[in-house]
Structure 1
Amino acid sequence: MGPILDLQRPSVTFILLSLALASIYWLRLLFRRPLFPKGSPVLVDEYPVVGAWSFFSRRIDFWRHGTAQSKTGRFSFYVGKLPVVSVSGVEGRKTFFESKELSFSEGYAVLFGNAPRFSVKNEDGVETSGVEGGFDTYFNRRITRLMKKGRFVRNLHLLVNDTRQALSQLAKAESNILDPFDDIYRIVYRLTVRTVACNDIADNPDLLSRSLKAFETIDASTTPSTVIFPWLPTPASVKRMVAGARLYRMVQNIVEARKSAGVRGEDALQFLVDQGDSIAQIISFVIGSLYAGVLNTGINAAWILVYLSTDSHWMDVVRQEVDAAIDKHRTNSAQSKGDILTSFALGDWETEFPNIDLCLRESIRFHLTGTAFRRNVSGKDMILGKEIIPKDAYLVYAVDDIHFDPEIYTDPQTWDPSRYLPHRAEDKKVQNGYLGWGTGRHPCHGMRFAKLETFIIIAFFVATFDFQLVDEQGYPKMAWPETDRNEHAAHKPRTPVRLKYTLKD
């Protein structure tokens, strides 16, 4: 039997050589990095192909390392083949948050995870596509409409009832120990779904649980490999696609059921349908809103309770504030605290709890970890100081550069809401000194809702329960767990904590 492949034949050798050269050429194209031009910030690199892996594994440590190597506080690096520049300091912060030549959406779409891309019509009726022209415009337009006062007033009783119902179930539970990063997080999730999605899911425990599982799968799908190799079908990207398909079918079934029954909903879903949005657009909007709302508010509301449980001064301050608001609105002695809080109008919720607002502000400062992202979309190199930011390059800004600057925030490692009181006003010392609600050209459109749901949850919880911090076995803990500054976003503590609670008289 002759050889299967005769390497002595010139034609076979030529074919193999051609394939090898073509493969090398294709791989060079696939992984070729654009060179940083002369005059760019100092290059801090790590590995071929993947680039600065520490940007994913130890982000804030990587930022400190890179900043220490630069005289200006700016440095360059690669994420895969993507050129990235880290900026810091007063000048870098001003450019990052205020320049019209830097795109918020293009930065987040690639470095934080793939954003939806589809065509929509702008206000002139012209079809635009891509992140900046399409989804970003679409999302901001829709969320601005949904955050108007009229919709808050219409749904306020539902948000209050959801919270009261959840705490009532806790009061009846056999165990008097809860995980705030699960129980409180789920309350926030339900309130957010009701506000940016639909009542059908918020009112159905099974749909609510399934949608939360799908959302958490999508959240966990952004990995270093999906950013560096977005074209590669990794297990994470496949899970993301499956979870997205499940949410798609869930919403599609609700829309079709409403149409067949001739029923209209009084919720965000109905509003989006009335605008002529496709199911794909609606799902993208809901996921984007949940990212902004649940991942931040859900974690920070839980952290506020943890901090209060270990800080007797602020616990007293918040309790007195809640009790004073209840006494102010009491109309008869037979009313329970829950009944009085339930009667609050929107204006009451937004004005009666300034100290809870301070606690939220400080918790956000503590847990807004990682970096913000932008992209140079000016079509040309930018000059920052005497250094070049290449065209099409990505920019990152480490939040700790300002939020944990001891020149701005006194003893920044201490949770201290009083730092925002008028006589101190540490967040007002410099321009863009506080990033928790957005700044510059990108303020947070959901700030009003985030504050509202936090005030509702904290006020009801404090009015209903006495509570203390304990470990998983129920033993008292005297201190809250430290935050891992290398986290990429607000995150549950690595060391589990619980709250032991008793129903107040």
Structure 2
Amino acid sequence: MYPLGLLPLLQAWIPDYAAVKLSIALPGIILLALLWSLAENQEEDDTTPTALPLSGLSTIWPFFKSRFDFLARGFQLTGRSIFQFNLLQNTVVVVSGESGRNDFFSCRGLDINEGFKVLSGAIPMLPGITSDLQARRIALIHKRLAAAQNSDRLTRLLPQILGDAERVICSWGYPGTIDPFSHMPALLFQTTVRSLSCHEIADDAALVARLRKLYDRLDSSTTPASVLLPWFPSPSMLSKLYASKQVYDIVNGAINARVQSGVSRDDTLQMLVDHGDDKLVIVGFIMGLLVAGARSTGTTASWMTTCLGGHPEWKHKARAEVRALLSDCSAGNVASSSLKEQLAAIPLEAWEDHTPVLDKIIRETLRLAQPHTAMRRNVGPETYINGMRIPSGAYVVYPFSDVHLNSTLYPDPWRFDPDRSDRVAPYEYVGWGGGKTVCLGQRLAKLQLKLIAAMLLLKFDFILVDVNGRTPNPLPRPNWNDTLTCKPPIGSCYLQFQSISEGKIEKDGP
């Protein structure tokens, strides 16, 4: 339960029905929580996961700021495939290995929403709207997301996504050089806003840019303090609350304008309004899914173009596939000089079912450059993972690096190789999740990635260069400690591009 102190502040921001009771906690409560985190009252036996031999406080910062290295060190220090540690009063069990992975993804008592609520925190903070949601509301949001990705809806979205992509790409100016880890996320944020919100927002480039900055502020405000002590008014928590309120105002304003105008438009907001959904459901759907979709898809797009720029053989294969698609669908005969219209004439079915090269590229990019750690909470009775007891209420995490960077399953795992054989064993690829928790927006995400890749491949030639304009050697490697974007060091790689009609800029790889 949240105390009362910040209630007037929130009531000044959002309606009473969305206000949350918050207050400044007493220092004694903080001290009590810290002492609790250091206490070791749990009875140990042969089924208790080995405890990480580090103090409770020394685990907090590395778990949030260098998670990949921290978890790898944990496995090394304990010498076990499963270990546990404390984040304040929260018990966290880390699992790995084939058996642990299979148990993790198949266990019914492990809840993803409860896991991310405490261990992630990288979402707008509006309880009842984007967090602390009841199961019925979560199920409704999932149902609406499926409707937003049905074939009819995606067919109508095709030219809109391509239109946004063409406008944004042309704004870069060319020939030129871009930072793919800045420009590609901005492009994918625009197309995600178009796909999952409304035209009133998506048509306003300045508003989209402001919205993206607010989500970036939410990222930077996600600190150990704001995640583990959400009731404490730390500077990071206040910054997160303020950014959340501004995002809420933008989305709520668009909803009010649509309802008051009485004008029906073909977008996701209209679908939600037509279903008669509660306003809080509509706000929560748009606020939550914009950040969830744009972050992951933006990261994938950044690394996909980076890998294509550094591997010209795959760039040529992908370009040839898209050209063949145009020819097979007779889209190249569209009486227009617009590349956007030619690509939009390709049927949705062709994009989804007849692009094996692009499918391989996206799959390999997700394996190589999605630094996810799956987070769950055991909301059922105590359970067992690989013979180790998981108490009720404990958190369980599984790092995707355990499988995706496993040299036994994927030889030379840091190498970009879309021709890798598909794995047939359960959960040996979890790029879109696994078990009962898979990415519900993957159909839209794949379509966005393919459309944007197609436009870039047919419009430009591009190569990967370093700050000095040379081919990087070695090629940049994803930073798995960067849990949101996996970025390489700032300034380490760029995409140099020019219009294909202006001549080639091909260079040999390293």
Match of 1:136?
A: 138
Match of 1:503?
A: 499
Match of 1:450?
A: 445
Q: 1:73: how far off?
A: 0.7
Matched, 1:284 2:281: no
Change (3 A) 1:265 1:473: farther
Matched-pair contact (CA < 8 Å) for 1:248–1:283: yes
Matched-pair contact (CA < 8 Å) for 2:129–2:284: no
Partner amino acid, structure 2, of 1:498: Y
Change (3 A) 1:283 1:37: farther
Partner amino acid, structure 1, of 2:415: T
Change (3 A) 1:279 1:243: farther
Q: Which moved more, 1:272-281 or 1:395-404?
A: 272-281
Normalization by structure 2: what TM-score?
0.85
Matched-pair contact (CA < 8 Å) for 1:184–1:298: yes
Distance 2:248 2:97 in 1: 43
Matched-pair contact (CA < 8 Å) for 2:325–2:346: no
Change (3 A) 1:363 1:246: same
Partner amino acid, structure 2, of 1:384: I
Q: How does 1:131-280 map to 2 (within 5 A)?
A: 131=133, 133-170=135-172, 173=173, 176-280=176-280
Provide the secondary structure at the position in 2 that maps to 1:418: coil
Q: How does 1:420-499 map to 2 (within 5 A)?
A: 424-425=421-422, 427-428=423-424, 430-472=425-467, 474-496=469-491, 497-499=493-495
Partner amino acid, structure 2, of 1:27: L
Q: 1:436: how far off?
A: 0.7
Q: 1:309: how far off?
A: 1.5
Task: Count residues with an aligned counterpart.
Answer: 467
Q: Which moved more, 1:358-367 or 1:63-72?
A: 63-72
Matched-pair contact (CA < 8 Å) for 2:60–2:224: no
Change (3 A) 1:204 1:52: closer
Distance 2:334 2:29 in 1: 82
Partner amino acid, structure 1, of 2:105: F
Partner amino acid, structure 2, of 1:407: T
Runs of 5+ unmatched residues, structure 2: 1-25, 502-510
Distance 2:161 2:60 in 1: 44
Q: 1:111: how far off?
A: 0.1
Matched-pair contact (CA < 8 Å) for 2:175–2:499: no
Provide the secondary structure at the position in 1 that maps to 2:419: helix
Match of 1:16?
A: none
Provide the secondary structure at the position in 1 that maps to 2:128: coil
Match of 2:18?
A: none
Q: 1:383: how far off?
A: 2.5
Partner amino acid, structure 2, of 1:147: Q
Q: Which moved more, 1:183-192 or 1:323-332?
A: 323-332
Matched-pair contact (CA < 8 Å) for 2:101–2:398: yes
- 1:176-195: per-residue Cα shift (whole Å, max 9, x none)? 11222222222211111111
Distance 1:102 1:185 in 2: 31
Change (3 A) 1:386 1:262: closer
Distance 1:389 1:457 in 2: 43
Q: 1:52: how far off?
A: 4.2
Q: 1:278: how far off?
A: 4.5
Matched, 1:416 2:417: yes
Q: Which moved more, 1:297-306 or 1:344-353?
A: 344-353
Change (3 A) 1:202 1:142: same
Match of 1:3?
A: none
Larger Rg: 1
- 1:74-100: per-residue Cα shift (whole Å, max 9, x none)? 101011221111111122111211111
Q: 1:152: how far off?
A: 0.9
Q: 1:108: how far off?
A: 0.7
Match of 1:124?
A: none
Runs of 5+ unmatched residues, structure 1: 1-21, 121-128
Q: Which moved more, 1:111-120 or 1:32-41?
A: 111-120
- 1:226-261: per-residue Cα shift (whole Å, max 9, x none)? 122222212222122111111222222222222332
Distance 1:479 1:283 in 2: 45
Q: How does 1:26-425 map to 2 (within 5 A)?
A: 27-28=31-32, 31-33=35-37, 35-39=41-45, 40-49=48-57, 51-70=59-78, 72-113=80-121, 117-118=127-128, 130-131=132-133, 133-170=135-172, 173=173, 176-330=176-330, 332=333, 336=337, 338=339, 339-378=341-380, 380-419=381-420, 424-425=421-422
Change (3 A) 1:349 1:315: same
Provide the secondary structure at the position in 1 that maps to 2:318: helix
Distance 1:64 1:362 in 2: 22
Change (3 A) 1:309 1:479: farther
